[in-house]
Structure 1
């Protein structure tokens, strides 16, 4: 376990950021940070068991920790075991951040980042990034720091806004290409899409780009099953709810078939990024999807349209079996956009949640 308490980690981050010239007005978003206190009880009541089978993954004396805060919208976590650090995006602030597991320090890894969103580590230990807006491309950061452009167009037209990304064992790169990064000015620059669809792409090791899924509206998170025989993809604009679809991966490692809905966020959950553990369970970022109730309620003399799903009940991580059965909910004080497994034993769950990054040791290990 790290030596810094969450409170000290936050203080170190604010101090380090100020020393680097990142005052609140410079994008630290310090006014959006808040004092977080971990639960003092074991087992942590934030880990809510929805099915007794999940108990084997819970560590009795592990609690949710806040390891970083002060971001505007934290996303795209990727863990690098060689250096013992986590990289993650702070999209509106146009930067990639670094959390050092040994010291607890948080620093700016890259700024500007071209509004980087999803990040991952390839099989050679290099950072692969979805540049979400402006450049709208997939890049790889070489060991010497050089940035190599892997893809920025398809059939002669610019990509939409690369979002989330995974690397398969054959070194192919799979990524989603929804519209979020060009829909407005918050996460980049508004731009007209050039692609006819919001695709899921496969980039082969020799650089050939193929649209492997073309019929999902704004695909978001994606991940493979441990044996890579299934591909899971979030449909952010699913009807009537956000969903996760599974596809059978053909023997060629490329073709997909048998599209099946595995998870339906019927509780108004805002499915986003997710990861799969070695047992095939899906650990999903969760929170309100922002949908409004059909009728207003009175609040302080005003007619207000509330959310259909309460953020305080939804924010966190929802865990499902491979068959889509809910197993657990890890409650967080902020909406979780994405997550990854890390730590020296690959059993520390890192959760990028709105303004902060949280961590929890579990008895599960990431599939990759």
Structure 2
């Protein structure tokens, strides 16, 4: 019997301790136009993710997929806050919203300095309740993932929303197209992807790192890693500080110092991923049309 090719590429021996070689990549669902924004609900033992062009959000639980929300305002990235509420980036409405426990929607941010946001893309919540999100122009570039419009913001920023005052601050303003973002396990570093090579072959395809100063601002910006196939979109961090990022040929894993440790090869272009399952050792991957999953030998960071 011919041997099934491995989905793993080992670039550093450390990667061998992060994977389960016998764990196969499973396709859990297919039928999306562009799958994005996976978020795990441990209390409900389910995954919710976005299918942006179809303007819907889907729910996976017990190997069954159902519609979670439709229409979705072309929702892209999702996360949960410390109270378990869903926080989402909506391309269509160009805002960041929070779904309350009773199902009502609260608008967290829709403008900056009196002008509409571009199209919020991805979002994370720090332990102090502050909401950090990216605002590239993907949702207003065409009518495919939102509504075509001219940007009102002069730059494509990373923002911090203060949980107490509602004040919105642009903490980084020099990105081409800021995309996925995540905190280090101790919340001392914020990592942000620049995916501007999606429309400019000469643009960066890297993840940058920033030191968090007093929980409010960023400093010491530097390139953390470069992607050698495709570009970085969404990513997550495990309990050891390794970054697991989307790429053109699958999921790339980088050590805390920025060295490529290995890859999980995926048949479709990966957009985003998250750790889930009862022990957060299952990697759920949104890739083009499908939702995939694979078990790992590490666990997701609770703050990712």
Are 2:248 and 1:317 equivalent residues in the alignment?
no
Tell me how far 1:241 sits from its aligned partner: 3.2
Alpha-carbon distance between aligned partners in 2 of 1:215 and 1:56, rounded to the nearest angstrom? 37
Alignment of 1:209-224 (within 5 A): 209-224=168-183
Identify which of 197, 214, 217 aligns with 1:255: 217
Give SS of 1:247's match: strand
Q: What CA deviation, in whole Å up to 9, does each residue of 1:284-307 have, x standing for no partner?
A: 1010xxxxxxxxxxxxxxxxxxxx
Tell me how far 1:344 sits from its aligned partner: 0.3
Identify which of 1, 18, 23 aligns with 1:62: 23
Alpha-carbon distance between aligned partners in 1 of 2:275 and 2:100, rounded to the nearest angstrom? 22
TM-score for both structures, normalised by structure 1 = 0.78
Aligned to 1:139: 97
**Closer, same or farther: CA 260–51 of 1 in aligned 2, 3 Å:** same
Are 2:292 and 1:358 equivalent residues in the alignment?
yes
Tell me how far 1:237 sits from its aligned partner: 1.8
Greater helix fraction, Structure 1 or Structure 2: 1
Alignment of 1:326-337 (within 5 A): 326-337=260-271
Aligned to 1:110: 69
Alignment of 1:14-33 (within 5 A): none
Kept in 2, the 8 Å contact 1:77–1:338? The answer is yes
Alpha-carbon distance between aligned partners in 1 of 2:84 and 2:3, rounded to the nearest angstrom? 36
Q: Which has the higher contact order (CA 8 A, sep 6+)?
A: 2
**Closer, same or farther: CA 153–216 of 1 in aligned 2, 3 Å:** same
Aligned to 2:231: 270
Kept in 2, the 8 Å contact 1:338–1:352? The answer is yes
Alpha-carbon distance between aligned partners in 2 of 1:75 and 1:240, rounded to the nearest angstrom? 22
Aligned to 2:51: 90
Are 2:33 and 1:72 equivalent residues in the alignment?
yes
Greater strand fraction, Structure 1 or Structure 2: 2
Kept in 1, the 8 Å contact 2:28–2:63? The answer is yes
TM-score for both structures, normalised by structure 2 = 0.95
Give SS of 1:181's match: helix
Give SS of 1:199's match: strand
Aligned to 1:178: 136
Alpha-carbon distance between aligned partners in 1 of 2:188 and 2:211, rounded to the nearest angstrom? 6
Instruction: Give the greater-gyration-radius structure (CA).
Output: 1
Tell me how far 1:126 sits from its aligned partner: 0.9
Kept in 2, the 8 Å contact 1:116–1:130? The answer is yes
Identify which of 123, 126, 131 aligns with 1:168: 126
Alpha-carbon distance between aligned partners in 1 of 2:146 and 2:2, rounded to the nearest angstrom? 41
Identify which of 186, 192, 204 aligns with 2:162: 204
Aligned to 2:207: 244
Aligned residues: 297
Tell me how far 1:61 sits from its aligned partner: 2.7
Unaligned runs of 5+ in 2: none
Alpha-carbon distance between aligned partners in 2 of 1:44 and 1:80, rounded to the nearest angstrom? 32
Unaligned runs of 5+ in 1: 1-39, 288-314
Alpha-carbon distance between aligned partners in 1 of 2:272 and 2:300, rounded to the nearest angstrom? 14
Kept in 1, the 8 Å contact 2:178–2:195? The answer is yes
User: Which range moves more in the overlay, 60-69 or 148-157?
Assistant: 60-69
Kept in 2, the 8 Å contact 1:219–1:234? The answer is yes
Kept in 1, the 8 Å contact 2:206–2:231? The answer is no
Kept in 2, the 8 Å contact 1:43–1:61? The answer is no
**Closer, same or farther: CA 161–175 of 1 in aligned 2, 3 Å:** same
Which 4+ stretches in 1 moved above 6 angstroms? Answer: 40-44
**Closer, same or farther: CA 88–246 of 1 in aligned 2, 3 Å:** same
**Closer, same or farther: CA 162–197 of 1 in aligned 2, 3 Å:** same
